[in-house]
Amino acid sequence: MKHTLIHLNSSPYSSLACKEGLDLALVLATFEQPVDLCLSGAALALLTDNQEPTAEQGKNLHKLLAGLEFYDIENIYIEKNHSWLEDNPTWQGVQPLNGDEWQTMFSQYQQVFRF
Amino acid sequence: MQYTLLITGSPYQSKACHTALRFIRAALNKYPNSIKGVFFYEDAVLIGNQTAQPPRDEINLTKAWQEIAEQHSVPLYLCIAAAVRRGIINESESRRYELEQHTLAEHFQLEGLGTLVDLINSTNKVIQFR
C-alpha cells in the first residue's frame, strides 16, 4: 500500500483542477489507501470561510473540507507564515509547517500528485 | 519495473500528452512490458475525442496514442467522470444520457478512479505528466 500526497496548487475557481484533485483523494481514501493533502499557492483560497460562490463562479469546495475526516483524511498541510491566511477567517483543520518541514514533507511519500 | 502513467495536462494547453508519448515510446522500445497502463485525468481526457480534427500539418495525438495501444497492447483509460463532463462519451454512456452520438475514440476506455487506484497498487511507480 502506497502513501500518497495530493498537492493542490491551483485556484478552486479558475479551473477544475482542485475539484479533480480532491476527487482523487476521496477515491483513494474510499479504497482505504493512506492519503494526505497539502495546499499551496492559489489553492489556499480553498480554506477561506464564508464562501458563497454562484453557479457561474464554481462549486463551493470549501464545504468538502469538513467531511475529509470521515474519509480518514486527517493530514492537510500548508506552509507557515502566510499573512493572507492570518488576516482572513480560514478553516482550522490544517497543519502549518515551516519551510524546512514543508520541503522534507514531499520526500516522505511514495507518490505525489499535483493538481 | 512496471510503470503507470497518469496524464492530467490538456492536449491543447500543455505538452503533457506529447511528452508522455515520447516517454512511453522510449520505455516500450527498451522494455516491452514496462507499462501497465495509461490513465488520463482532468483535461487530458480530451485525447480520447474521436471527433477532434487537428490540422493536417500537425501531429494527430489521438492517433499516435491509438497506435501505442494497438502495437503494444497498453490499455488507455480515461476517467469516466472527467470524460463525460467534457463530452467524451462511449456507446453505453450515450444511451444512459439519451444522446444520439458517442465520441470516444477506438482503443480508449472509460474507467472510474478505482482503476487508477488498482494501477497504483499493482505497479512500481506512477509518473504524472501535467
Average pLDDT of every residue of chain B: 97
**For residue B95, what pLDDT is reported?**
97
Q: What is the pLDDT of residues B31-65, one digit of tens each?
A: 999 999 999 999 999 999 999 999 999 999 999 99
Prediction ipTM score: 0.91
Q: What is the pLDDT along chain A (115 residues), one digit of tens a residue?
A: 899 999 999 999 999 999 999 999 999 999 999 999 999 999 999 999 999 999 999 899 999 999 999 999 999 999 987 777 777 789 999 999 999 999 999 999 999 999 9
For residue A13 the three cell numbers come to 475557481
> B113 CB near a chain A CB, below 8 Å?
yes
Considering the entire predicted model, what is its pTM? 0.95
The sheet with strand B125-129 has its strands ordered as: B108-111, B76-79, B35-40, B3-7, B125-129
Which residues of B are marked as active site?
79
Q: Is B69 on the interface with A (CB under 8 A)?
A: no
Asked if B77 is an interface residue toward chain A (Cβ–Cβ < 8 A), one would say no
Instruction: Say whether B113 and A27 touch across the interface (CB within 8 A).
Output: yes
Largest CA distance in chain B: 45
